[in-house]
Structure 1
Amino acid sequence: MSKYKLVMLRHGEGAWTIENRFCSWVDQKLSVEGIKEAEKCGKYLKSLGFEFDMVFTSILSRSIQTAWLILEELGQEWVPTRSSWRLNERHYGALIGLNRAELALNHGEEQVKIWRRSYDVAPPPIDENHPYYQEIHTDRRYTCCDIQKDKLPKSESLKQVLERLLPFWNEEIAPEVKRGKRVLISAHGNSTRALLKHLEGISDADIIKISLPTGVPVLLELDENLHAVKPHEFLGDQEAIQAAIKKVEDQGKVKPSEK
């Protein structure tokens, strides 16, 4: 029986989403379309009567900005928000900044799919010669984490994302849910996938099939032990959502003109 409801989502579209590049821990604001997606998400949640008591985000701007815009549309700007690096997007290591379609052309679509969607395969790690290493690893926000900066990841599999996310879920988010707080999580594609895997018990093999479009709320109904009582539900126009999911999946494929 369903006892709790949890709403989570991948942030709205960012500038590098348009360019089909791995953004990961590079901090970027929402694109114009991403702002519209977040506002639309807020309007839709309002039409369904959703109210929230707590909001959780990563420490990346696109996650935080999405939460702000949703709360503004809901008229719930006062709702407390907590941010943690543990909800950050997956660290894509040496792939950060690279174009997915170009990688598929050079390394094959299957390899790119493994890098993007598999459970336990991590991309090559980022090093100090990488063009975005300094931008990421000298960022002041990472001096405020609950572990030392030199212990932060340089590359992650989805399994590693789940491992660093679970302490925050168990210690910060889950207790609020069990207190009856209505929780919204504004995070990223992979941190949301990792949490869905954990709560729904999705297998290592099946998680590769899960893709999340930007700016679409996901509803999960949980029992008293915070286990999903049924599969997650995308809220909104289902035909448009399926088209958006296909668009995400096609990001890792070679462009037809390049085949």
Structure 2
Amino acid sequence: MALLIFVRHGQSLYNLENRFTGTLDISLTLLGKEQAKSAGGKLKGYVFCMAYTSMLIRAQESLEIILKEMHVKIPTVKNSAFNERMYGSLQGLNKEETAKKYGLAQVEIWRRSYDVCPPGGESLLQTYNRVIPYYKTQIEPKLKMGQNVLIVAHGNSLRSLMMYLENISPVDIVKVNIPTGLPRVYDFNNQLQLSGVKYL
């Protein structure tokens, strides 16, 4: 039996300001740090062989706070495969103001659809196509050996992983939103078949 647990980073400054963040390197707010600390408290007692995160500071900082709260030190890998989806020319813009300019329906398509790219940006499909190969080569082998793995990343890189792990369709993933700072636990049997999923 092995566990995979992922956590979306705590609230960032651009989350607070309702801006498209994407690959911009934006730090956590005080609330974001508290959310990461809370996640670490919920994960006390879990034993991980390895932790993975993105190249972006808000995810790295969240992981650091989580491990500090757990009072553990484990090997950590940072890789751009887990970076947030790139929002192109929308990055840094206020979401409400962007909706006024382009229309709410268009902005929702850019934000939530599976295969439509925002201007100059990356679709969820493209995000999936970098997350899942990395997951299959780097993380699945550890789970097969019965090792527990922690991932701290971003809303869209983790939505991509959810699609793969839970067999969620491109239509249904549109409605999925991952809360910040809340650990999601995947329980696998010896054949790496999913036997349970829950938020802590």
TM range (shorter): over 0.9
Answer yes or no: is the 8 Å Cα contact 1:199–1:227 preserved in 2: no
Q: How far off is 1:225 after superposition?
A: 4.7
Instruction: Please tell me whether residue 63 in structure 1 is matched to residue 37 in structure 2.
Output: no
Could you tell me how far apart the structure 1 residues matched to 2:198 and 2:101 are? 36
Amino acid at match of 2:65: L
2:153 maps to which of 178, 187, 195:
187
2:128 maps to which of 162, 171, 176:
162
Which consecutive unaligned segments of at least 5 residues does structure 1 have?
126-154, 236-259
Q: How far off is 1:219 after superposition?
A: 1.1
Q: How far off is 1:175 after superposition?
A: 1.1
Amino acid at match of 1:234: Y
The residue aligned with 1:242 is none
The residue aligned with 1:88 is 83
**Counterpart secondary structure, 2:174:** helix
Deviates more, 1:27-36 or 1:81-90: 27-36
Q: Structure 2 length as normaliser, TM-score?
A: 0.95
The residue aligned with 1:109 is 104
The equivalences for 1:1-259 within 5 A come to 3-46=1-44, 49-76=45-72, 78-125=73-120, 155-230=121-196, 232-235=197-200
Q: Structure 1 length as normaliser, TM-score?
A: 0.74
Q: How far off is 1:223 after superposition?
A: 4.0
Answer yes or no: is the 8 Å Cα contact 2:3–2:147 preserved in 1: no
Amino acid at match of 1:116: R
Distance 1:223 1:111, change over 3 A: farther
Q: Greater share of strand residues, 1 or 2? A: 2
- Identity over aligned residues, as a percent? 42
Which consecutive unaligned segments of at least 5 residues does structure 2 have?
none
1:77-115 C-alpha deviation (Å, 9 max, x unpaired): x20000100000001111101111122222222222211
Amino acid at match of 1:85: S
Could you tell me how far apart the structure 1 residues matched to 2:191 and 2:89 are? 38
Q: How many residues align?
A: 200
CA RMSD of aligned residues (A): 1.4
Amino acid at match of 2:116: V
Answer yes or no: is the 8 Å Cα contact 1:66–1:186 preserved in 2: yes
1:6-53 C-alpha deviation (Å, 9 max, x unpaired): 10011011111110001111112211111111011101221xx22211
Answer yes or no: is the 8 Å Cα contact 1:200–1:227 preserved in 2: no
Could you tell me how far apart the structure 1 residues matched to 2:98 and 2:191 are? 42
Q: How far off is 1:4 after superposition?
A: 2.5
Could you tell me how far apart the structure 2 residues matched to 1:83 and 1:115 are? 27
**Counterpart secondary structure, 1:27:** coil
Could you tell me how far apart the structure 2 residues matched to 1:121 and 1:227 are? 31
1:198-245 C-alpha deviation (Å, 9 max, x unpaired): 111101100001001111111122344544335x4221xxxxxxxxxx
Distance 1:167 1:8, change over 3 A: same
Structure number with larger C-alpha Rg: 1
Amino acid at match of 2:67: L
Amino acid at match of 1:111: Q
Distance 1:225 1:101, change over 3 A: farther
Answer yes or no: is the 8 Å Cα contact 2:132–2:160 preserved in 1: no
